[in-house]
Amino acid sequence: MSAISFKEVGKRYPGGHEALRGVTLDVEPGDMVFLTGHSGAGKSTLLKLIPAVERPTQGAVLVNGQNVGRMRAPAIPYLRRNLGLVFQDQKLLHDRNAFENVVLPLAAAGVAPRDAAKRVRAALDKVGLLDRERSNPATLSGGEQQRLCIARAIVNRPSILLADEPTANIDADLAAEIMAMFRDFNGVGVTVIIATHDLGLAARFASRTIRLDHGRVAR
Amino acid sequence: MRGWLRHHRQSLAAALRRVARDPLGSLLNALVIGVALALPLGAFVALATVERLVPTSATEPEMSVFLDLGATRADADRLRAELARLPGVRQVRFVPKDQALAEMGRTEGLAEIVAALGRNPLPDAFVLRLAPGAAAEDAASRAGGLAKVAKVQVDTAWVQRLQSILALGRAATLVLAALLGVGLVAATFNTVRLQLATRRDEVEVSRLVGATDAWIRRPFLYLGAVQGVLGALLAGAIVAAASWYLTPFLAGLARLYGGEPTPILPPPMLIGAATGLAAILGLMGAWISVSVHLRDRR
């Protein structure tokens, strides 16, 4: 069974903009896939269909065999607990420190505080921010903020990690460091999908690359 | 299950912290709810007070039948039997004129006047107690037609009128309470909506990382309930303060009606019930507010 499977997926937003057309693809468990394409090609939309942030208007999106496009609203939180999401706009909460940002997925899943604290520290350690757990995200550098997002995405030990432009707005050295992190997660069996407009970055990893062009998979 | 209980505890603590962090805003919120609740609460207390001033036995119609001054003890005995046969009469009590005068002498301010009287000006009388709801006017007119009866006075007509007014007051208070209850729901809806606006990012991120709607809603529900409780306690304080201020005035009134001039504090049961109800209404307002917010952003 594929980790993620798109079958003839189309997405038309209210207002008529057609972001995806006839997208069919499969991502196997343990794969590391780059999703590339020009700005507006539909990369973000494709990623948003997987955690059911958006719903397809055509076709089926399957995650671990479940049709998430038709999933009932109460079931969606449980789907998302098995996914790690790194957002393009980071979505860090600035009214709380690094630790409190990372603990949120565990608190929402009802993990006991002592257990959660251990896992938060392990996640912060993995991204090299263990000494910054009390810092407010606003006081962290751009690279550190991105790593904090990654810590929050992996703290739930998801089987699938989705990252939307994780290296935008940071310099090349930091970008390489972050990509190395994703490769490490992939090395321990996590399925990773990274959307990026940086073709060079994707090429360096010799991983599978899916290119989107005006909402279609380019061959 | 333990995680669920823990989140309830955390949500309550978070709601209390949020209230404590903004004392002025919280006080004003509580004041809006408190003043709204104080109106029906105060009305209930006022009604209960008036009810206590009215002698409870008087809810059963009573009338006095005064005999001619020249009526003899034999006349009285005959009348007792005739009065007892009137429809609706439950009890007939004879008040001889000497006893009536003695009772009058015990009334404050009248003792000297009674002492100054050369002879007893009072007639013998019967006090009739009728069954509740009996037609007092009908019985009175029939009693008035009996021989040696000088005058019949329905004593409790005013009480019956007052009871009707009180019943109307109670009904009006319920209507008022229902309306202000809706107002309370609206007030918490609005406060929680403002809270949601400032914590929009938190709600959005929580959803994206797998929080259920119930989990997101919970802290806001506690916030609504805590506000309702604070409002109700404030309402209790407002009513208690008003009662304390009004008690001396009531004492004068109580003496006039022969009631007990006791302070009119709102009963703890009433405050307790109002607090519980306010908590539920606050929770409802918060529930609607969060549900609307979550639905609009699905």
Which residues on A lie below 8 Å from B206 (Cβ)?
104, 108
Q: What angle do CA B137, B140, B141 make, to 5 degrees?
A: 90
| pLDDT band at residue B59 using 50, 70 and 90 as cut-offs | low
Q: What is the ipTM of this complex?
A: 0.92
Residue A1, pLDDT > 70, answer yes
| pLDDT band at residue B263 using 50, 70 and 90 as cut-offs | low
Are β-strands A216-217 and B62-67 bridged in parallel, bridged antiparallel, or unpaired? unpaired
Extract the tokens encoding A36: 């590339």
Question: Where is mean pLDDT largest: A201-215, B69-83, B225-239, B246-260?
Answer: B225-239
Which residues on A lie below 8 Å from B218 (Cβ)?
none
Contact B281/B243 with Cβ under 8 angstroms? no
- Considering only the beta carbons, identify the residue of A73, A80, A113 that sits closest to B209: A80
Q: Across residues B165-184, what is the average pLDDT?
A: 91
**Distance between CA A132 and CA A56 in Å, rounded?**
39
A113 Cβ under 8 Å from any chain B Cβ: yes
Domains and CATH numbers, chain B: 2-55+160-297 (no CATH), 60-155 (3.30.70.3040)
pLDDT at A27: 96
φ, ψ for residue B139 (rounded to 5)? -60, -40
Cα–Cα nearest to A170, from A162, A178, A160: A178
Top pLDDT among A14 and B47 is at A14
- Considering only the beta carbons, identify the residue of A53, A77, A85 that sits closest to B211: A77
Q: How far is CA B122 from CA A129, B69, B95, B100, in A?
A: 101, 8, 11, 7
**Distance between CA A8 and CA A59 in Å, rounded?**
5
Which residues on A lie below 8 Å from B6 (Cβ)?
110, 112-113
**Distance between CA B32 and CA B275 in Å, rounded?**
15
- Considering only the beta carbons, identify the residue of B202, B210, B212 that sits closest to A93: B202
Which residues on B lie below 8 Å from A74 (Cβ)?
212-213
Contact A135/A108 with Cβ under 8 angstroms? no
Q: Which residues contact B83 (CB under 8 A, 6 or more apart)?
A: B65, B89, B92, B126, B128, B143, B146
SS3 assignment, position B292: helix
pLDDT at B99: 85
Candidates B208, B216, B296, B297: best to mutate against A (most CBs of A within 10 A) is B208
Using the structure block, give the residue that is written with the tokens 């604290």: A117
For the entire predicted model, the pTM comes to 0.77
**Is there a contact between A74 and B6 if contact means CB atoms under 8 Å apart?**
no
Which residues on B lie below 8 Å from A105 (Cβ)?
209-210
Give the model confidence (pLDDT) of A138-190 as tens digits: 999 988 999 999 999 999 999 999 999 998 878 888 888 899 999 999 999 99
